[in-house]
Amino acid sequence: MATRHSAEYRDRHLVQELSSRIRRLSRRPLRIMEVCGTHTVSIFRHGIRSLLPETITLLSGPGCPVCVTDTAEIDAAIELARRPGVVIATFGDLLRVPGSRSSLERERAAGCEVRIVYSALDAVALARQTPGREVVFLGIGFETTAPTVAAAVLAARQAGLGNFSVLCLHKTVPPALAALTAAGDLRIDAFLLPGHVSVVIGRRAYLPFFERTRLPCAIAGFEPVDILQAVAALVAQAETERPQVENVYRRAVAEEGNPAAQRVLAAVFEPADARWRGIGVIPASGLEIREAYAAFDASRRFPLELAPAPEPRGCSCGEILTARKTPPECPLYGIRCTPSDPVGPCMVSSEGTCAAYFRYHDASAGG
Amino acid sequence: MCLAIPSRIVEIKDRMAVIDVDGVRRECSLLLLEDAAVGDWVIVHAGFAISRIDEEAARETLSLLREAAALAGGAPGGEPPAGE
Amino acid sequence: MDPADKILLDHGSGGRIAHRLLRDLLLPAFDNPALAELNDGAILEVEGSRLAFSTDSYTVDPIFFPGGDIGDLAVNGTVNDLAMCGARPLALSAAFILEEGFPLEDFRRILGTMARAAREAGVAIVTGDTKVVPRGAADRVFINTSGIGLIPPGVRVASHRARPGDRILLSGSLADHGVSVLAGREGLAFQTTVQSDTAPLHRMVAAMLAAGGEAVHVLRDPTRGGLGTALNEIAESSGVGVLIHEETIPLKPEVAGLCELLGFDPLYLANEGKLVAFVHPEAAEAVLAAVRADPAGRDAAWIGEALAAPAGRVVMQTRIGGRRIVDMLSGEQFPRIC
Ligand code: SF4
């Protein structure tokens, strides 16, 4: 049913071929981390786990921008939403994420203006249409999304808008991978790398990380055939002990990435330390708005107290994001923490590991 | 982490394109993609085209896979059925 | 309950959180057997005949959307709730809450739509009420309709009557209404030609019952919460497992496209002119023929079957041959980019 460049990759015969190829090749147990939350959702949604042999374990990594957004940052967004005259514009993903006491969805119920947009440019248009209001866009996401937000800042500057700003919560992937693997007790044998981040940063961007770890890596698209092909590639690398950074998403990812997007990103943002929920501060893993664009930086325009907020008690998101636990091993999972009443961020985002697990977990394991 | 969908460019004006996904249309910015043309398939994320799909690479990938699948399917007994 | 708790939009989404509201607040407050059945309408025995009685309130943004407006929904929705009890609709009521400043022109247009929908459904709107509230106290117009219908002798459809072995029929393509409303919503700026599927289903139901009689076990219109939620409700109240096959579910390409773009799962988007039926296999072909004979049922398809296990669960065989659990909607879906 899906469109070209998508339907072909949901073909049952190709899926079967890849599934049996993996079964044939796989001898030793392999723990693969899918770094990206969109992979997590696709894996659950298509029931891909049910097509893999027992030797393969898929673990979800820190690649859900919502899940890794720090509680204090959500609190900051909520504080902004409460200010008179402020309209928050956000991707729908952030609406339900719990801060330390509330969520944007609750604030909206209490009367704050919170608008869902599809694109950062929609937020710029909103600012243009409502000159008397301050439109604050919540900039979340990795290298895929950050250039789109940077482009929106450039567009706002060009339009001479004085009432548009960005609360910049962006993060970048390679430093997080480095931090994950630097922690001593790594229990990951191979990495399924995020396709659309790679579209922007290119295969090359992973090479320093790879040189340090020498773990099998494959850049994958998001259709079932893409994912299985990448798993097959990782199994082959592991079995032959010839690790590399393999680009299995060649129709979209170039060696050098997307230079135009990289330029726009670098024009507006510069690297900064960032706190990842459940993981802690990772050096140079975030982005902040450059001095030249200070007028569009919500954190400079509206000085905010970013009081460090404790993580919800009992929540194992940190261990989940680093593959030390699976959701059912969290004491709150499915009891106090469900998608309609989430405690931790992994349950909020539809691509969060706990939420995806809760919704779609393998039918054969279900009961 | 980033929902991005293959879409076809059906119109370009300035640096904005109209994209089509199975009959659904929307405006999409070309600010992040150099020299895109009408008829190109692009990957769209949050209202921006971020990559042009390399048709050549797509064809190669698929034909290799299809060959393998045909070989497996065409040699009965050569391929044990995937166990459940 | 936390005193700071407030009603959220999710409480009205028809999914799990809406269920909790029903179970924790409404059922205990009104406690009675007819309500406890939790069918689309209540079934009342009155001097030997069985009446179906149903009510629903309608709020939709935008109020005019491709393929219909709030007026169609208000008439067809209640007609369909009665039809899902196996009833022939007899009469409707309509009550309006209007916001001060709402254009008379729009009100007139909605009334015209309602009159036409009622005429097409062959049921009269026999009583009503209008209230006006100050600007800001309501969003333009809210409509409540209630309806009564007569259940013919020998008809016994109810959400707890699904049995292992039943085949599951969907009367047409999924999620058309949900997508048409989303596409029309301000700010998202998507253009589609998808139209809402709003339509009365009581004639289709009458034909199904004539063809299948007691073999038609369950009827449900998967409105808010979508097919996924409706199937879960049936699985739970009947104590059966439900297995559906993704590739058999009719879905228009444009609907699939918009769902991909915004990250929606069509299993959880609303339908306003579709029904899902659990039918004993012996009557399956006759019932399908009856549905297909109706203009709103031309694309009807078998999408799965009821099983003995896992009781209360819905499982989907995916297009690529994998398996996954289909849960109830767990909160209104928001457009997402991740
Ligand atoms: S189940 Fe909830 S509390 Fe536990 S790790 Fe997941 S999100 Fe956190």
Residues 6+ apart with CB under 8 A from A65: A37, A93, A140, A141, A142, A145, A169, A171, B1, C338
Q: What is the pLDDT of residue C3?
A: 47
Give the separation between CA A146 and CA B64, rounded to whole angstroms.
35
Q: What is the pLDDT of residue B76?
A: 41
Residues 6+ apart with CB under 8 A from C16: A338, A339, A340, C229, C327, C328, C329, C330, C331
A78 CA → ligand 1 middle, Å? 22
A314 CA → ligand 1 middle, Å? 8
Residue B66 pLDDT class (50, 70, 90 cuts):
very high
Q: What is the pLDDT of residue B77?
A: 37
Find chain A residues with C-beta within 8 A of C24's C-beta: none
Residues 6+ apart with CB under 8 A from A82: A107, A112
Q: Which of A329, A343, A349, A350 to mutate to test the pocket of ligand 1 (most atoms within 8 A of CB)?
A: A343
Distance (Å) of CA A360 to CA A42, A50, A350, C314: 10, 11, 11, 10
What percent of chain C stands above pLDDT 70? 97
Q: Residue C62, preceding bond cis, omega within 30 degrees?
A: yes
Instruction: Give the residue, C54 or B3, on which the prediction is more confident.
Output: C54
Q: Which of A66, A71, A316 to mutate to test the pocket of ligand 1 (most atoms within 8 A of CB)?
A: A316
Can you tell me which atom of ligand 1 is nearest the CA of A334?
Answer: 1
Residue B79 pLDDT class (50, 70, 90 cuts):
very low
A359 CA → ligand 1 middle, Å? 14
A353 CA → ligand 1 middle, Å? 9
Task: Tell me the per-residue pLDDT of A345-354, one tens digit each, with 9 for 90 and over.
Answer: 788 776 778 8
Q: What is the pLDDT of residue C222?
A: 95
Placement of tokens 């592991």 in the chain? A238
Q: What is the pLDDT of residue A124?
A: 97
Other CB atoms within 10 Å distance of the CB of residue A292: 10
Placement of tokens 């209001």 in the chain? A133
Tell the residue nearest (CA) to atom 3 of ligand 1.
A315
Q: What is the pLDDT of residue A66?
A: 82
Give the separation between CA C62 and CA A53, rounded to whole angstroms.
48
Residue C118 pLDDT class (50, 70, 90 cuts):
very high
Mutate to test the interface with C, among A115, A340, A343 (most CBs of C within 10 A): A340
C34 CA → ligand 1 middle, Å? 38
B3 vs C: CB within 8 A:
yes
Residues 6+ apart with CB under 8 A from C70: C58, C59, C60, C63, C64, C110, C141, C143
What percent of chain A stands above pLDDT 70? 96
SS3 C94: strand
- Inform me whether the pLDDT recorded for C310 exceeds 60: yes
- Which H or E run contains A265? helix A259-268
Note whether A45 contacts C323, CB cutoff 8 Å. Answer: no
A355 CA → ligand 1 middle, Å? 9
Chain C residue closest in CA terms to A37: C338
Helix, strand, coil share (%) of chain C residues, nearest 5: 35, 25, 40
Given B2, B53, B83, which is nearest A197 (Cβ)? B2
Q: What is the length of chain A?
A: 367
Q: Decide if A258 contacts A239 (C-beta within 8 A).
A: no
Q: What is the pLDDT of residue B81?
A: 39
- Inform me whether the pLDDT recorded for C321 exceeds 50: yes
Give the separation between CA A332 and CA A351, rounded to whole angstroms.
18
Assign domain B5-71 to a CATH class.
Answer: mainly beta
- Inform me whether the pLDDT recorded for A365 exceeds 70: no
Give the separation between CA C139 and CA C99, rounded to whole angstroms.
6
Chain A residue closest in CA terms to C310: A367
Angle at C26 between CA C20 and CA C31, to 5 degrees: 120
Can you tell me which atom of ligand 1 is nearest the CA of A348?
Answer: 7
Task: Tell me the per-residue pLDDT of C132-181, one tens digit each, with 9 for 90 and over.
Answer: 999 988 899 999 999 999 999 888 899 999 999 999 999 999 999 998 88
Given A17, A148, A351, which is nearest B46 (Cβ)? A148
What type of residue is A257?
A: G
The 3 state secondary structure assigned to C16-67 is HHHHHHHHHHHHHHHCCHHHHCCCCCEEEEECCEEEEEEEEEECCCCCEECC
Q: Decide if A193 contacts A206 (C-beta within 8 A).
A: yes
Dihedral sign, Cα of residue C274, residue C280, residue C283, residue C285 = positive
Give the separation between CA B70 and CA B50, rounded to whole angstroms.
34
Residue C213 pLDDT class (50, 70, 90 cuts):
very high
Instruction: Indicate yes or no: pTM above 0.90.
Output: no
Mean pLDDT of A163-173: 96
Mean pLDDT of A355-367: 60
What percent of chain B stands above pLDDT 90? 61
- Tell me which residue of A165, A177, A192 sits closest to A68, measured CA to CA: A177
C152 vs A: CB within 8 A:
no
Mean pLDDT of A130-159: 96
CATH 1.20.1730.10 matches A28-312: no
Residue B82 pLDDT class (50, 70, 90 cuts):
very low
Q: Decide if C21 contacts C334 (C-beta within 8 A).
A: no
Residues 6+ apart with CB under 8 A from A333: A327, A354, A357, A358
- Which H or E run contains A362? none
Interface predicted TM-score (ipTM): 0.89
Note whether C316 contacts A47, CB cutoff 8 Å. Answer: yes
Residues 6+ apart with CB under 8 A from C252: C173, C176, C194
Give the separation between CA A201 and CA A184, rounded to whole angstroms.
27
Instruction: Give the residue, A102 or C209, on which the prediction is more confident.
Output: C209
Of chain C, the end-to-end C-alpha distance in Å amounts to: 32
Distance from CA of C255 to the nearest CA of B (A): 8
Mean pLDDT of C60-67: 88
Q: Decide if A64 contacts A355 (C-beta within 8 A).
A: no
Other CB atoms within 10 Å distance of the CB of residue C112: 12
Strands (E), chain B: 5-13, 16-21, 24-29, 41-45, 48-52
Task: Tell me the per-residue pLDDT of A209-265, one tens digit each, with 9 for 90 and over.
Answer: 999 999 999 999 999 999 999 999 999 999 999 999 999 999 999 999 999 999 999
Q: Which two tokens stand for residue A191?
A: 């990495």
User: For the residues of C158-204, what is the DSSP string, one character each?
Assistant: -TT---TT-EEEE-S-SSHHHHHHHHHSTTT--B----------HHH
Q: Which chains touch C (3 or more CB pairs under 8 A)?
A: A, B
Residue A2 pLDDT class (50, 70, 90 cuts):
very low
Note whether B6 contacts A5, CB cutoff 8 Å. Answer: yes
- Which H or E run contains A140? none
Over chain A, what is the mean pLDDT?
Answer: 90
A37 vs C: CB within 8 A:
yes
Task: Tell me the per-residue pLDDT of C265-277, one tens digit each, with 9 for 90 and over.
Answer: 999 999 999 999 9
Q: What is the pLDDT of residue B71?
A: 84
Q: Which domains does chain C have, with CATH numbers?
A: 3-151 (3.30.1330.10), 159-325 (3.90.650.10)
Is residue C109 classed exposed, middle or buried when 0-12, 13-18 and 19+ CB atoms within 10 A define those classes? Answer: middle
Give the separation between CA A341 and CA A336, rounded to whole angstroms.
8
Q: Which of A69, A103, A320 to mutate to test the pocket of ligand 1 (most atoms within 8 A of CB)?
A: A320
Instruction: Give the residue, A73 or C187, on which the prediction is more confident.
Output: A73
Task: Tell me the per-residue pLDDT of A259-294, one tens digit each, with 9 for 90 and over.
Answer: 999 999 999 999 999 998 878 899 999 999 999 999
Q: What is the length of chain B?
A: 84
Note whether C258 contacts B21, CB cutoff 8 Å. Answer: yes
Report the number of secondary-structure helices (H) and strands (E) in chain B.
1, 5
A69-78, C116-125, C270-279: the lowest-pLDDT one: A69-78
Q: What is the pLDDT of residue A194?
A: 95
- Inform me whether the pLDDT recorded for A341 exceeds 80: no
Q: Which chains touch B (3 or more CB pairs under 8 A)?
A: A, C
Give the separation between CA A152 and CA A162, rounded to whole angstroms.
13
Give the separation between CA A45 and CA A224, rounded to whole angstroms.
10
Q: Which two tokens stand for residue A218?
A: 């494959």
Other CB atoms within 10 Å distance of the CB of residue A236: 17
Find chain C residues with C-beta within 8 A of B5's C-beta: 260-261
Q: Any residues with Cβ below 6 Å from ligand 1, and which? A: A 315-317, 320, 327, 330, 332-333, 337, 343-344, 346-347, 354
C323 vs B: CB within 8 A:
no
Q: Decide if A69 contacts A169 (C-beta within 8 A).
A: yes
Give the separation between CA B38 and CA B49, rounded to whole angstroms.
13
A330 CA → ligand 1 middle, Å? 6
Residues 6+ apart with CB under 8 A from A279: A62, A68, A176, A179, A180, A318, A321, A322
SS3 A163: coil
Q: Which two tokens stand for residue C137?
A: 């106290």
Give the separation between CA C220 and CA A317, rounded to whole angstroms.
38
C7 vs A: CB within 8 A:
yes
- Tell me which residue of A296, A192, A181 sits closest to A235, measured CA to CA: A192
Find chain C residues with C-beta within 8 A of B27's C-beta: 189
Note whether A105 contacts C10, CB cutoff 8 Å. Answer: yes
Q: Which of A347, A351, A357, A359 to mutate to test the pocket of ligand 1 (most atoms within 8 A of CB)?
A: A347
The 3 state secondary structure assigned to C212-260 is HHHHEEEEECCCCCHHHHHHHHHHHHHCCEEEEEHHHCCCCHHHHHHHH
Q: Decide if A248 contacts A221 (C-beta within 8 A).
A: yes
Q: Which of A337, A349, A358, A359 to mutate to test the pocket of ligand 1 (most atoms within 8 A of CB)?
A: A337
What percent of chain A stands above pLDDT 90? 63
Mean pLDDT of A310-330: 82
A353 vs B: CB within 8 A:
no
Q: Which residues of A247-262 are buried (b: 16+ CB within 10 A; e: fewer)?
A: bbbbbbbbeebbebbb
Tell the residue nearest (CA) to atom 1 of ligand 1.
A333
Strands (E), A140-289: 164-168, 190-194, 217-220, 245-247, 269-276, 280-289
Residue C299: φ, ψ to 5° = -95, 15
Instruction: Give the residue, A149 or B61, on which the prediction is more confident.
Output: A149
Given C189, C254, C263, which is nearest B26 (Cβ)? C189
Note whether B23 contacts C260, CB cutoff 8 Å. Answer: no
Given C183, C191, C256, which is nearest B22 (Cβ)? C256
Domain limits of chain A?
A: 28-312, 317-361
Find chain A residues with C-beta within 8 A of B47's C-beta: 118-122, 148
- Inform me whether the pLDDT recorded for B84 exceeds 70: no
Residues 6+ apart with CB under 8 A from C217: C157, C161, C162, C163, C166, C277, C278, C279, C280
C258 vs B: CB within 8 A:
yes
C318 vs A: CB within 8 A:
yes
C10 vs A: CB within 8 A:
yes
What type of residue is C59?
A: T
- Tell me which residue of C82, C30, C324 sits closest to C202, measured CA to CA: C82
Q: Which chains touch A (3 or more CB pairs under 8 A)?
A: B, C
A77 CA → ligand 1 middle, Å? 22
Find chain A residues with C-beta within 8 A of C175's C-beta: none
Distance from CA of C149 to the nearest CA of A (A): 35
Q: What is the pLDDT of residue A113?
A: 94
Residues 6+ apart with CB under 8 A from A184: none
Give the separation between CA C253 and CA C175, rounded to whole angstroms.
11
Sheet holding C241-245, edge to edge: C216-220, C276-279, C167-170, C301-307, C241-245, C314-317, C323-325
Find chain A residues with C-beta within 8 A of C334's C-beta: 92-93, 95-96, 116
A110-114, A316-320, B35-39, C97-101: the lowest-pLDDT one: A316-320
